[in-house]
């Protein structure tokens, strides 16, 4: 998949690639909304691998809307993108899946002065409480919310999901190396579910200085080619 990205500022990373694989493991279909689409990488990869997906996206930064629109066109993927803050999105539309690699750096870290990086990285732009409340308003009953987040905030995530009557039913922690603490968590949550949480085996992304075999397989499946440019 060919993906155009800004020549400077925020670019997607392994989080997006690993999240795409996690989402695809649930074989999504129907109306899917990619929240905070950026250049479109997560949603477009998911749609590429799952023909029954009707893909939409929401992105508030105009430049990223342009990149995502171009990326959908060059990869011949039907795509509808809303230029909007997710919290202000029309609530009459309902979705079967909401997917997202949201901004999740917490308030305690030093913030970038670059506007693009600031919007893409820091959770003050999409606080968990407001994020999850909005998700429940536009998600169909008994449907799916799949996203990744900072692993150290997992307890808070479960608390906030519970407040909006959602439940994390599948969870996988990502570790950079086998002896490192988890840096990322991928979560499949559902509304109306009574299932107990399933903790999947940990995903180790590196073996020594190279990607692990699993990581290599995911990158091979994604088969992305990035081109940094100005549009």
- Strand pairing report for 95-100 and 80-83: unpaired
When the pLDDT of each residue in the chain is averaged and rounded to a whole number, the result is: 92
pLDDT of residue 51 exceeding 60: yes
pLDDT of residue 128 exceeding 90: yes
* Mean predicted confidence (pLDDT) in 97-104: 92
Query: CB 74: neighbour CB atoms within 10 A?
Result: 13
What are the chain's domains? 2-225 (3.40.50.150)
Report pLDDT for 8: 85
């Amino acid at each position: 998949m060919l993906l155009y990205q800004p020549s400077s500022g925020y670019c997607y990373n392994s989080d997006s690639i690993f999240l795409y694989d996690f989402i695809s493991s649930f074989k999504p279909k129907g109306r899917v909304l990619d929240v905070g689409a950026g250049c479109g990488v997560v949603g477009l990869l998911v749609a590429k691998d799952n023909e029954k997906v009707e893909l939409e996206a929401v992105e508030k930064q105009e430049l990223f809307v342009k990149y995502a629109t171009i990326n959908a066109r060059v990869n011949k993927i039907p795509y509808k993108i809303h230029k909007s803050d997710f919290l202000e999105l029309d609530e009459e539309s309902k979705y079967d899946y909401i997917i997202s690699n949201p901004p999740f750096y917490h308030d305690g870290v030093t913030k970038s002065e670059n506007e693009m990086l600031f919007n893409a990285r820091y959770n003050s732009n999409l606080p968990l409480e407001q994020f999850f409340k909005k998700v429940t308003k536009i998600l169909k009953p008994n449907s799916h919310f799949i996203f990744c987040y900072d692993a150290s905030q997992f307890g808070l995530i479960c608390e906030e999901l519970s407040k909006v009557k959602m439940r994390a039913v599948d969870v996988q922690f990502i570790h950079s190396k086998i002896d490192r603490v988890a840096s990322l968590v991928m979560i499949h949550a559902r509304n109306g579910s009574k299932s107990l949480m399933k903790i999947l085996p940990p995903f180790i992304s590196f073996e020594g200085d190279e990607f692990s075999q699993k990581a290599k397989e995911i990158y091979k499946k994604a088969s992305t080619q990035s081109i940094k440019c100005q549009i």
